[in-house]
Structure 1
Amino acid sequence: MDGKPGLRERKKQRTREAISEAAIALFLEQGFNQVSVAQVAEAAEVSKRTLFAYFPAKEDLVTHRLADHETEIARVVRARPPRSAPLPAVRDHFLRGLRERDPITGLNDVPEVRRLHRMILETPSLVARMQRFKAGAESALAQALRETADAPELTARLAAVQIVAVHWALAQDNAARLAYGEKADARCAGALADARFAFELLENGLRDLGAPR
């Protein structure tokens, strides 16, 4: 076995991507609340039953694109060099993401990304769905801190809530600025400064988290 997905899995992935692409195109053109699931199914040339098999809720048609990022901070913490603290690893990863215009930092003004962020910000049900990702990120990070930083359960949970909240607030601020017209290049210096300041504030309270003993 070479670890590659089989034909069936590849076909399922193509179907999933086709449905998502059709949905995003319709949502960006007409508005999330103005497009029905039936319209998406018709555009993707699948039945509603098939659509719901891949996406149980209408909001999933949008937010599934961000699903891989739900555990991103936890992965960064797990992958940090031995005997290094978690917080600097998260900070450096976020700063690098800003410089590289990673959409998850909010600092990406590619037109489709900017329109997608604006749609999410303006749609209460999508905002609510994103909160589930935030909760998932907190849970995954807390687990990573318990396992790699030898943090007690309460410490890990409280630290995860703080780190994810800062990460989330910075990204949301950038996304909102760009969604309403600011350019990524113009925002970059301010985004970097805000991120450094935010992580310095975090460091005051989490200085000893995962520090070598």
Structure 2
Amino acid sequence: MVGDTGLRERKKTRTHQAISDAAIALFLKHGFDRVPVADVAAAAGVSKPTLFKYFAGKEDLVLHRITDHRDEYARVVRAAPGAPPLDALHRHFTGALTGRDAVTGLNDHPEVLGYHRMVFSTPSLLARLSQHSDREEEALAAALAEHPTAGMDDLTARLAAAQIVAVTRVLARDNWRRLDAGRSADDAHPDALAAADHAFALLAAGLSPT
């Protein structure tokens, strides 16, 4: 029984990955708005109803790669109960830059560059991305309000979370723009790191108690 359950889960994971890979490949080649969902299903070797069992909508075929990071900032804050939350988030973001995490925008693999170009140029994807940011703010605000050293009431936590999520989104887009202009990730890394340090310093000054 346990073996059957594990086999089913592995099959579901493979199907999810196959659909995702087929979707991204088709969208990057032809454009998001020009590829119907039926074509994605056919390329992945599944039916359209099966596709929608794995992905709620067409935008989710793209943005699940970002939503895989769901609640990440909240987890970072909760994992460092003895450290100032902003310090923990700063270290996390700069570490992700060094690791060339695609979510920071500092990844020059051609598919990643094309992926970001598609997201930033497609209104429906940007709208869904905004919804993801709203959820991130809510989760981060809850973590900040609960943090033992942050000392934030609910309103302050929500205001802080909105600023932090917005800042990291701006940093990521600026990083992508550097690479889209032709720079390599290695060449752009010092500027990306300096920008992150500057941004978090501004956050720290703005969020410090008066």
TM bin (shorter chain): over 0.9
The equivalent residue for 1:47 is 47
Looking at structure 1, the residues matched to 164 and 45 of structure 2 have their Cα atoms a distance apart, in angstroms, of 42
Residues 73, 90 of structure 1: 8 Å contact kept? yes
**1:162-206, CA deviations, whole angstroms, 9 ceiling, x for partnerless residues?**
111111110111123223422212211111111111111111122
The aligned amino acid for 1:36 is: P
The aligned amino acid for 2:189 is: C
The equivalent residue for 2:111 is 112
The equivalent residue for 1:207 is 208
1:130 aligns with 2:144: no
Using the size of structure 1 for normalisation, the TM-score is 0.91
Q: Which runs of 4+ in 1 moved over 2 A?
A: 179-182
1:1-20 map, 5 Å: 6-20=6-20
Looking at structure 2, the residues matched to 128 and 180 of structure 1 have their Cα atoms a distance apart, in angstroms, of 25
The answer for unaligned runs of 5 or more in structure 1 is none
The equivalent residue for 2:25 is 25
Instruction: Name the SS for the 2:68 alignment partner.
Output: helix
- TM-superposed CA distance for 1:70, in Å, is 2.3
Instruction: Name the SS for the 1:6 alignment partner.
Output: helix
1:56-135 map, 5 Å: 56-80=56-80, 82-135=81-134
- TM-superposed CA distance for 1:151, in Å, is 2.2
The aligned amino acid for 2:79 is: A
The aligned amino acid for 1:24 is: I
Looking at structure 1, the residues matched to 205 and 153 of structure 2 have their Cα atoms a distance apart, in angstroms, of 19
The aligned amino acid for 1:173 is: D
Q: Compared with structure 1, are the counterparts of its residues 201 and 152 closer, same or farther at alpha carbon in structure 2 (3 Å cutoff)?
A: same
CA RMSD of aligned residues (A): 1.8
Looking at structure 1, the residues matched to 183 and 129 of structure 2 have their Cα atoms a distance apart, in angstroms, of 23
The aligned amino acid for 2:114 is: R
- TM-superposed CA distance for 1:208, in Å, is 4.4
- TM-superposed CA distance for 1:125, in Å, is 1.0
Looking at structure 2, the residues matched to 34 and 124 of structure 1 have their Cα atoms a distance apart, in angstroms, of 14
**1:89-114, CA deviations, whole angstroms, 9 ceiling, x for partnerless residues?**
10111111111211111100011111
Identity %: 57
- TM-superposed CA distance for 1:68, in Å, is 2.1
Instruction: Name the SS for the 2:83 alignment partner.
Output: coil
Instruction: Name the SS for the 1:70 alignment partner.
Output: coil
The aligned amino acid for 1:142 is: A
- TM-superposed CA distance for 1:69, in Å, is 1.3
Looking at structure 1, the residues matched to 50 and 177 of structure 2 have their Cα atoms a distance apart, in angstroms, of 34
Using the size of structure 2 for normalisation, the TM-score is 0.92
Please identify, of 112-121 and 145-154, the stretch whose mean Cα deviation from structure 2 is larger. Answer: 145-154
The answer for unaligned runs of 5 or more in structure 2 is none
